[in-house]
Amino acid sequence: MWASCRRLRALRHWSYERRETALCALSLLLVCVLSACAFVLPAALLLPLAGLNGLLVIHGLLRRGSIWGVLKLGLVQLSITLSLYLILYGVEHLAQGAVVVTRIILATIPGWWLCITTAPERIGEVLSAFLPTKWAFVVAASLSLLPYMADEIREIYQIQCLRGARITPKALRNPKNWSELVYCVLFPVLIQLLKLSRQMAVAAQCRHFGLAQRPTHWHSPRDKND
């Protein structure tokens, strides 16, 4: 009796894992299709695509995701692109620059939604089905580091502002201060990222990663709690 209960519980767990992996694979396919459509579809079809991306945004917000990063990226990209179009082509081509930025934002939203709704280890498991195991591990590890790196960038930026660096939004209106943003924020972030990459490589090596031909995949308990 006890053995049959354990077998039934194992079958339910296995079916759950297979269902979650299949959903992750479908999510990856959906993200690839939507991101590709953002660049290849004509401008007349961008509005329906924006509606689909709006549904992804709503679902991501319901999963307690934050869209502020995508909005800030869009605003920065919009200001830079429109400025370049204004300098190079004049006022007549500003609409084309706005369309370019719209395509970039529409290509970014599906990836944001995937990071919010899918655990990195699930993505690594799916990618390992048709990619080398090490490549799948790198992609999954990179996705898992995104929230941490966002916090690191925010902390470094705030510390540099307290030190008097001219990198506030008002100061960055002057192009002469852009180089200070590179030295004070981008370079420290790059150094921190290289340090984290080294630590992850050492941790994987200590766990003998890559020696088994068919590695196992650990699933976080948060999959079942979401």
DSSP string, 15-32: HHHHHHHHHHHHHHHHHH
Read off the pLDDT of residues 43-64 as tens digits, 9 standing for 90 and up.
889 999 999 999 999 999 998 8
The angle subtended at Cα 169 by Cα 185 and Cα 85, nearest 5°, is 100
pLDDT greater than 90 at residue 74? no
Note the helical H segments in the chain.
Answer: 2-40, 46-62, 68-88, 94-117, 120-127, 133-162, 178-181, 187-206, 222-225
Output the pLDDT for position 113: 93
Q: Are 210 and 134 in contact (CB under 8 A)?
A: yes
- Cα–Cα nearest to 225, from 16, 73, 74, 9: 16
Read off the pLDDT of residues 159-191 as tens digits, 9 standing for 90 and up.
998 988 888 888 877 878 888 888 888 899 889
Q: What is the mean pLDDT of the chain?
A: 82
In eight-state DSSP terms, residue 129 is T
Query: Residues of the chain with pLDDT > 70: what percent?
Result: 86
Give pTM, 2 decimals.
Answer: 0.73
Distances (CA, A) of 39 to 29, 101, 107: 16, 11, 7
Domain regions of the chain by residue span: 27-118, 120-226
Output the pLDDT for position 84: 83
